[in-house]
Chain A
Amino acid sequence: MDKMSHVITHCIEQLPGLVNGNPQLVWRGRFLNTTFLMKIDSRPYYVTIKEGRIEDIQSGPALLRSWSFAVKASTQAWLKHWETFPEPGWHDIFSMAKTGQASIEGDLHPLMANLRYVKEVLAAPRAMIGG
């Protein structure tokens, strides 16, 4: 495993702790119950949220696994997004989507209805990586 993949794996492992250990963040997501897909390069991670807590992250691929919405980007894009002060264009998932560096797909209602929460969950590794 190369260094970047190792960092990504570590971030995903730590994500439940980063989210569930933040009471205000859990409170913001208290009405969200869903499984969304976070894709890093070709590797899917199925993130199951229950009342704002990350209940489970299943590393895929898993055949016929359903999900509500998906946020997909490359390893490099996620690592750039997780810098303490990301460079312009990498600082927001919608900026990355506008430039084609990420895609946001599927049933967007749970995403848009909980947008601050989901963006903060996806940016949570920023606290670990810094730089």
Chain B
Amino acid sequence: MQTKNAAEIEPIVGRYIHLQLGGRDNRVYYEESVLAENTGIPFVCLHTAGADGRQFRHLMTDGDITRNFRVIAFDLPWHGKSLPPIGYHEEEYRLTTEGYVEAITAFCRGLGLERPVVMGCSMGGRVVLELALHHSEELRAVIGLEASDYQEPWYDTEWLHRPDVHGGEVCSALISGLVAPQSPDEYRWETLWGYLSSGPGVFKGDLHFYRQDSDYRDRSAQIDTDRCPMFLLTGEYDFSCTPEDTERTGRSISGSEVTIMKKLGHFPMSENPAHFRSYLLPVLRKILTMP
């Protein structure tokens, strides 16, 4: 009898946690690397709008990251393998700042995470500004990927959820241009699959937070990076959250560190993981030296 596994099994495990959000029970899915054996610094990753935590799978199998960090990614309710709450069929999904922060803090507290590093991309990069403003005492540092305090819209979100246009197809085709041309086809299409397979109206509902409920231009200067160090990394091909948006945001937040990433777009961790790690690892090394 062969004792070795007959096939490759990745060192990633998934579980469900029940969170009370907005007074309702939510069955939330999360994945984490078992390479870390729960000893590293908690490193919570927030996916982009209309997608799910699979975007961070490459970080979970990267020994140079998991050696010191416990990489964890959860799917927001309505996303990925997290169900929408009971009664979803009678409502329009709309993410708010309040609801988003409630989900993140409830998840971190639910798992008993002590001063995690939180890294979010796109809308996840926006919400780390809110976390740094109001929850700095609970955090070790924040990393905003494709993050800014505001950005100009570039299409009408009414196209995203209507009966005469396939939602997954149009969401995917719209955001496909945010992937850098140099990113490998394999990972480009894996990234796009998250949008192709997203639930109806979910991307549009997330953009409610992103476009209508999170303009931080009047508040970002209040962020104290002595209490919560902040790193902002944006791909040069991101025309949604542009490098200029991130640089402007960085200028308003004293002590924040801005990096513009060459040959990357709006989804650095999933569109070109091998290239992205060359930007992420130096940031994580800095965080390791921080108290």
Q: Do A and B come from one complex?
A: yes
Q: Is B174 an interface residue (CB 8 A)?
A: yes
6 A-B pairs with the lowest CB-CB distances in the bound complex, closest first: A92-B177, A115-B173, A95-B239, A116-B173, A98-B154, A85-B181
Chain B, interface residues (CB within 8 Å), range:
20 to 34
Known contacts: A94-B239, A98-B239, A112-B170. The answer to whether A119 contacts B159 by CB under 8 A is no
Tell me how far the C-beta of A125 lies from the nearest C-beta in chain B, rounded to whole angstroms: 15
Interface residues in B156-192 by Cβ distance below 8 A to A read 159, 164-166, 169-170, 172-174, 176-178, 180-182
Is A91's CB within 8 Å of the partner chain B? yes
Q: A94-B155, A95-B177, A119-B177 are in contact. Are A113 and B164 (CB under 8 A)?
A: yes
Give the A-B contact count at a CB cut-off of 8 A.
Answer: 51
Q: Does A86 contact B (CB under 8 A)?
A: yes
Whether A94 pairs with B170 at a CB distance below 8 angstroms is no
Task: Answer yes or no: B90 CB below 8 A from chain A CBs.
Answer: no
CA separation between A100 and B192, bound complex, in Å?
26
- Verify B239–A116 contact, CB threshold 8 A: no
Question: In chain B, what residue has the closest Cβ to A108?
Answer: B159
Please determine whether B152 and A98 come into contact, CB atoms closer than 8 angstroms: yes
The distance from the CB of B39 to the nearest CB of chain A, in whole angstroms, is 40
Does chain A have a CB within 8 A of B237? Answer: yes
Cβ-based interface call for A93 (8 A): yes
- On B, residues with C-beta under 8 Å from A are 152, 154-155, 159, 164-166, 169-170, 172-174, 176-178, 180-182, 236-237, 239
Q: Closest CB-CB distance, B133 to chain A, in whole Å?
A: 28
- Type the 1/0 row for A86-113, where 1 means its CB is closer than 8 Å to any CB of B: 1011011111011100000000110011
Please determine whether B166 and A113 come into contact, CB atoms closer than 8 angstroms: yes
Main secondary structure of the interface of A (DSSP, over half): helix
Known A-B contacts A91-B181, A98-B154, A98-B239; the reply to A119 vs B173 at CB < 8 A is yes
Evaluate whether A93 and B172 lie within 8 angstroms (CB atoms) in the complex, with A88-B237, A98-B152 already known.
no
| Nearest CB of A to B198, in Å | 15
* Cross-chain contact B236 with A88 (CB below 8 angstroms): yes
Tell me the nearest residue of chain A to B237, going by C-beta: A88
- Whether A113 contacts B239 by the Cβ 8 Å rule is no
Give chain A residues whose Cβ lies under 8 Å from the Cβ of B237. 88, 91
8 Å CB contacts to B: which residues of A48-99? Answer: 84-86, 88-89, 91-95, 97-99
Given A88-B237, A109-B164; A116-B169 close (CB under 8 Å): yes
Choose one: B165, B176, B180; the contact of A113 (CB below 8 Å).
Answer: B165
CA–CA, A115 and B182, complex, Å: 21
Kindly list chain A residues whose C-beta atoms are within 8 Å of the C-beta of B154: 94-95, 97-98
